[in-house]
Amino acid sequence: PQPIRLADYAPPAFLIDEVRLDFDLAPNTTRVKAKLTVRRNGEHAQPLVLNGERLKPVSVAIDGRVLAEAERTIDAEFLTIPNAPDAFVLETEVEIDPENNKALEGLYMSGGRFCTQCEAEGFRKITWYPDRPDVLSRFTVRIEADRKFRHLLSNGNLIDAGELPGGRHFAVWNDPFPKPCYLFALVGGELDVLEDKLVTMTGRTVDLRIYVDPGMAPRAAYAMDALKRSMKWDEETFGREYDLDLFMIVAVRDFNFGAMENKGLNIFNSSLLLADPATATDMDYERIESVVAHEYFHNWTGDRITCRDWFQLCLKEGLTVFRDQSFSADMRGHAVQRIKDVKALRARQFAEDQGPLAHPVRPSSYLKIDNFYTATIYEKGSEVIRMLKTLIGPEAFRKGMDLYFERWDGHATTVEEFIRCFADVTGRDFEGFFAWYEQAGTPRVSLKQSYDAAARTLELELAQETPPTPGQPTKKPLPIPVTLGLLDGDGRTLAFERDGQAADETLIVLDQASAKVTLTGVDAAPVVSALRGFSSPVELTTDARASDRYVQLAGDADLFNRWEAGQELARALILARAKGAADEVSEERYAEALGRALNDQASDPAFKALLLALPSESDLALAMAPADPAAIHAARDALRLRLSLHLTEDLQRLHIGLQELGEFSPDAASAGRRALRNAALDLLAANPRAETGELADGHYRAAANMTDAMGGLSALMQIGGDLYENALTDFFQRWKAEPLVIDKWFALQARDPDESALGRVMGLTAHPAFDEKNPNRLRALVSTFANFNPARFHDPSGAGYRFLADQILAVDGFNPMTAARLVEPLGGWRRYKPELGALMRKELERIAGTEGLSKNVYELATKALA
Ligand code: HT7
Ligand code: ZN
């Protein structure tokens, strides 16, 4: 297959001003009539070429005249009309089979209801259309169905509805805002609805409706609350008001992704919408809040202003992640949110950058765009916006955003045009900055310090280098914002001067391969706190001593760096042990320091919970070359045991003291206390004494909410034995009617590092509750195993890799998009011990050599091998 290239972009040959769609819904034989008002775009003689896949043609007519077969061609991918007029009405009719659409793209059925997923290229499975984001049209949609499909929904406003003979009914929707077809949505079925209202900043009343499975409406209350807070936040922070009179969200159980921002009708994976204390954890609440916000924020950054082509995906995704992260920070605390965001960035995006699938935030070619909904586009895309804001300051950033909204509303645009808005409001040149979009890889920044006590100066020497990535052997320097402060030996902020200006903190922009910066007026030998708040997505190495890290861990005014200091210390200890050089004295010193941090009354429980969590095994694997997952697992466990022994009393005290007495509340402070209590239990469970088992069992059995139930179960999993097995059985029996909870049951077992886990996971694929056609269930078991159980996935026999490859091949037969998302854990094969890498490679070769493979899996498997 031929890749699509950014350099080949050409404007659409024809534009569609109006679209009228008529759906006659039936599970196996849905009829779709499309009436398109088409006009030639510019002077040319190109044919009209419309995308269309898996469509059963019924008819094609131009201006009311049915075309003869010789006047058009239909193949597996296109409808082509060679001699189309300059302006005309095209009417087509096709038949589709939603019931048998297990790829979950286009129109499909989930739980007996019709629903759609059109981003990126699913609309072509509904009707013939120019399925590209730069064709913006006004849609009117009529849906007709049996009355048992009680709710018939589409984008925009309901303009007509009524009953029809034969037990049928219809609804007509009109969306006044021109949109690309990837934002089209339709839902048909029996649903319950939770309703509310919001008065916007200009006094308009917007109806809010969340549609869910019958009986589930109370579980949508938190999502509704999050939606209202998001709408207000976007008004206050970005001046963005909602534009339709109605905003709807629908929950579906079978969904390839998290959620989708269709105009006025967001569709959500039910796992990211439904929550109550009994069935959802605090982490679920947090995710729901951020994804509801994310999809809502797309109304302006994605829907009103969309992408010219799919290479510009970060224009809507990176920017919208930045907006949702800023919202979450305002809701839940800036430092804690930043730490969580950086943890996710490192775990997913830094790993991507180190592997064969590394690509720039704006890629320049692809085979299947579905494969580019990656951490680089989303998370690094957000980091780039964050750096832009850091570089120009919050006021100029807001001005640039205002200009962007004003200039590009109603259009499909590019990253260049977005950046141009900031150049126009600041008068600055962003040519150098643009490299962040075009250059792949995580820059490595080094920092050396030298203090001259007599002169009271601190000289800082910074350098940057970005390692080569596939297709980009040489790299240029990037403008890297480094926010920096100084501490004295007791951890107090140390003032200094830069260029004669007094400061507590400064921003250094490293835009050359290396640079020197001199700070003056430095009264004592300082501890340097660099890259505060993780001011750019880089790997920083410094010449700081362990003693400097301890000063930071105890009192860095920048909480991100306080946490980071603890992680650096732990990482060094675990890696030393993994390489056979355990330093027990330093391990004790670390435990001691952690104990002091835990007892710091001034700090927030959510922050302490983060301090207690050691770097993940995957994070550690990125820092070990070649990576040895078994050694990392053993070394990490050994440090956990030491911490558990050293801190037993502190941890027990936290476990008792943080017991919840009142009613459950999902707010950040309450969630933080639960997080710390569960983190304390988790660390106690590293020491599998009999009383720890009892403690974990008691915790599980006394749990009054899902956060604590999962905390107890997870601690029992570490301890193993009958208590664990009994709790697992109890959990399944109690929750077997709740799919979202049973997903947790599968995921927990997939994370079990015990030797028996691979056999258990394989056995679970034959469990009656396992359903590979449901992406949530598949991910709960297979993706959790491959991504979050390195000790067992990297079994020296290669059985873990074989298991994953078998699953990928099986799922590729009906859902290529979801199958392709499972390939990544094999992609990092070059980073592992050669004997493991060879086994991983062998499975990739087996996948790539399989006949009839989808383009999705083919692209990732072959890139991983290249
Ligand atoms: N913009 C949405 C992306 C999405 C998607 C992409 C490929 C296949 C299925 C999908 N479902 C949703 C979600 C978002 O980022 O907001
Ligand atoms: Zn998005």
- Among 108, 119, 303, 855, name the best residue to mutate to test ligand 1's pocket (greatest count of ligand atoms within 8 A of Cβ): 119
The answer to whether 241 touches 89, Cβ cutoff 8 Å, is no
Could you tell me if 383 and 498 lie in one domain? Answer: no
Q: Is the pLDDT of residue 819 over 90?
A: yes
Could you tell me if 516 and 468 lie in one domain? Answer: yes
In a domain, 424, yes or no: yes
Tens digit of each residue's pLDDT (9 = 90 or more) over 440-467? 999 999 999 999 999 999 999 999 999 9
Confidence (pLDDT) at 274: 98
Per-residue CA distances from 409 to 31, 303, 351, 402 (Å): 34, 9, 36, 11
Could you tell me if 163 and 87 lie in one domain? Answer: yes
Q: Which residues contact 739 (CB under 8 A, 6 or more apart)?
A: 253, 270, 774, 776, 777
Could you tell me if 430 and 453 lie in one domain? Answer: no
- Among 116, 252, 260, 376, name the best residue to mutate to test ligand 1's pocket (greatest count of ligand atoms within 8 A of Cβ): 260
Q: How confident is the model at residue 22 (pLDDT cuts 50, 70, 90)?
A: very high
Sign of CA dihedral 638, 642, 643, 648: positive
Distance 268 CA to ligand 2 centre (A): 12
Q: Whose CA is nearest to atom 14 of ligand 1?
A: 260
Ligand 1 touching residue 316 (CB < 6 A): no
Please work out, in degrees rounded to the nearest 5, the angle formed at the alpha carbon of residue 410 by the alpha carbons of 404 and 412.
75
Q: Average of pLDDT values for 694-708?
A: 98
Could you tell me if 164 and 54 lie in one domain? Answer: yes
Q: Which residues of 574-607 are buried (b: 16+ CB within 10 A; e: fewer)?
A: bbebbeeebeeeebebbbebbeebbeeeeebbbb
Confidence (pLDDT) at 847: 98
Q: Is the pLDDT of residue 195 over 90?
A: yes
Q: Average of pLDDT values for 32-37?
A: 99
Could you tell me if 72 and 182 lie in one domain? Answer: yes
Considering every ligand atom, which ligand is closest to the CA of 117? 1
Q: Whose CA is nearest to atom 12 of ligand 1?
A: 260
Distance 119 CA to ligand 1 centre (A): 6
Ligand 1 touching residue 856 (CB < 6 A): no
Ligand 1 touching residue 260 (CB < 6 A): yes
The CATH number assigned to the domain holding 156 equals: 2.60.40.1730
In a domain, 594, yes or no: no
- The backbone region for 574, taken as left when phi is positive above 0, alpha when psi lies in -120 to 50, beta otherwise, is alpha
Could you tell me if 394 and 514 lie in one domain? Answer: no
Final residue in a domain of this structure, among 157, 173, 190? 190
Could you tell me if 434 and 448 lie in one domain? Answer: no
Final residue in a domain of this structure, among 190, 212, 241? 190
What is the domain range of residue 159? 4-190
Considering every ligand atom, which ligand is closest to the CA of 323? 2
Confidence (pLDDT) at 808: 98
Confidence (pLDDT) at 690: 78
Distance 224 CA to ligand 1 centre (A): 21
Q: Is the pLDDT of residue 1 over 90?
A: no
* CA gap 483, 498 in Å, rounded: 13
Q: Whose CA is nearest to atom 15 of ligand 1?
A: 317
In a domain, 276, yes or no: no
Q: Average of pLDDT values for 611-634?
A: 98
Q: Is the pLDDT of residue 590 over 90?
A: yes
| Six-digit token string for 795 | 């079994």
Ligand 1 touching residue 323 (CB < 6 A): no
Q: Is the pLDDT of residue 173 over 90?
A: yes
Q: Whose CA is nearest to atom 13 of ligand 1?
A: 260
Q: How confident is the model at residue 492 (pLDDT cuts 50, 70, 90)?
A: very high
Q: How confident is the model at residue 688 (pLDDT cuts 50, 70, 90)?
A: confident
Distance 293 CA to ligand 2 centre (A): 10
Ligand 1 touching residue 295 (CB < 6 A): yes
Could you tell me if 10 and 159 lie in one domain? Answer: yes
Q: Is the pLDDT of residue 692 over 90?
A: yes
Q: How confident is the model at residue 689 (pLDDT cuts 50, 70, 90)?
A: confident
Ligand 1 touching residue 206 (CB < 6 A): no
Q: How confident is the model at residue 518 (pLDDT cuts 50, 70, 90)?
A: very high
**Would you tell me the crossing angle of helices 282-297 and 706-719 to the nearest 10 degrees?**
120
Distance 221 CA to ligand 1 centre (A): 24
Could you tell me if 467 and 344 lie in one domain? Answer: no
Residue 606's Cβ-side half-sphere holds a number of Cα atoms within 13 Å equal to 20
Arithmetic mean of pLDDT over the chain: 98
Number of domains in the chain: 4
In a domain, 682, yes or no: no
Q: Is the pLDDT of residue 371 over 90?
A: yes
Percent of all residues in the chain with a pLDDT value above 90, rounded to a whole number: 99
Closest Cα to residue 296, out of 257, 269, 322, 324? Answer: 324
The CATH number assigned to the domain holding 802 equals: 1.25.50.10
Q: Is the pLDDT of residue 123 over 90?
A: yes
Confidence (pLDDT) at 161: 98
In a domain, 660, yes or no: no
Could you tell me if 473 and 414 lie in one domain? Answer: no
Could you tell me if 36 and 144 lie in one domain? Answer: yes
In a domain, 227, yes or no: no
Ligand 1 touching residue 261 (CB < 6 A): yes
Confidence (pLDDT) at 346: 97
Q: Is the pLDDT of residue 661 over 90?
A: no
Considering every ligand atom, which ligand is closest to the CA of 817? 1
* CA gap 26, 188 in Å, rounded: 10
Most distant CA pair in the chain, distance: 95
Final residue in a domain of this structure, among 164, 190, 216? 190
Q: Average of pLDDT values for 817-835?
A: 97
- Among 184, 266, 373, name the best residue to mutate to test ligand 1's pocket (greatest count of ligand atoms within 8 A of Cβ): 373
Confidence (pLDDT) at 604: 95
Confidence (pLDDT) at 609: 98
Amino acid letter at 600? Answer: D
In a domain, 641, yes or no: no
The CATH number assigned to the domain holding 448 equals: 2.60.40.1840
Complex-level ipTM: 0.98
Q: Average of pLDDT values for 634-651?
A: 98
Q: How confident is the model at residue 836 (pLDDT cuts 50, 70, 90)?
A: very high
Distance 256 CA to ligand 1 centre (A): 8
Question: Which residue among 295, 564, 843, 859 is the active-site one?
Answer: 295
Q: Which atom of ligand 1 is nearest to the CA of 295?
A: 16
Confidence (pLDDT) at 359: 98
Distance 260 CA to ligand 1 centre (A): 5
* CA gap 813, 853 in Å, rounded: 8
| Six-digit token string for 787 | 């991504």
- The backbone region for 466, taken as left when phi is positive above 0, alpha when psi lies in -120 to 50, beta otherwise, is beta
Active site residue 69: no
* CA gap 471, 857 in Å, rounded: 20
Ligand 1 touching residue 256 (CB < 6 A): yes
